Amino acid sequence: MKVLLLVLLAGAALTLLLTYLSKLFFPKKSEEQEKASEPSEECCGAHEVCETDLLNKMSEEIIYYEDEELDVYRNFEENDYNDDQIDEFREVLYSLKEKEIEPWLKSLELRHINLPSTIKSEVVFMLVK
């Protein structure tokens, strides 16, 4: 009986010691760190896209993808395009390689060119797959 009691006490002491050591060497994240790791409120839910946007915002260089003709649509609203204009965006989009899509979007943003709403949905579909 004494042996069983000593084993239980030793087990409890060992558990307390391990708990103390784990808190000492592996502290929990602070609330600020946890909030920083969560997606921002502006995030659309497609985290890969949002994270890429954050990285792309660091670069302010405008790169053209043989799409200089799209500069005429500077400051258009996304619903102001007619079918022929939308097809111009679509032609450029489908000529791009997959890795060029995100930089192209950044280039359009820097040039103040809004994508037509129908093209936005196509781009999201292409990036998510």
Query: Do 73 and 102 fall into the same domain?
Result: yes
Query: Do 25 and 60 fall into the same domain?
Result: no
Top pLDDT among 29 and 118 is at 118
pLDDT band at 60 (very low <50, low <70, confident <90, very high): confident
Mean pLDDT within 9-14: 82
Top pLDDT among 82 and 44 is at 82
pTM above 0.85, yes or no: no
| Residue 116 near residue 88 (C-beta atoms within 8 A) | no
How many structural domains comprise the chain?
A: 2
Mean pLDDT within 74-100: 93
pLDDT at 76: 93
Query: Model confidence over 61-75: pLDDT tens digits?
Result: 888 989 999 999 998
Query: Do 55 and 109 fall into the same domain?
Result: yes
Query: Do 17 and 76 fall into the same domain?
Result: no
- Residue-range definition of the domain harbouring residue 11: 1-38
| Residue 115 near residue 123 (C-beta atoms within 8 A) | yes
| Residue 104 near residue 67 (C-beta atoms within 8 A) | yes
Does 113 score more than 90 pLDDT?
yes
| Residue 120 near residue 93 (C-beta atoms within 8 A) | no
Please, which residues have CB within 8 angstroms of residue 75's CB and are 6 or more apart in sequence? Answer: 112, 114
Query: Do 24 and 74 fall into the same domain?
Result: no
Top pLDDT among 8 and 112 is at 112
pLDDT at 68: 93
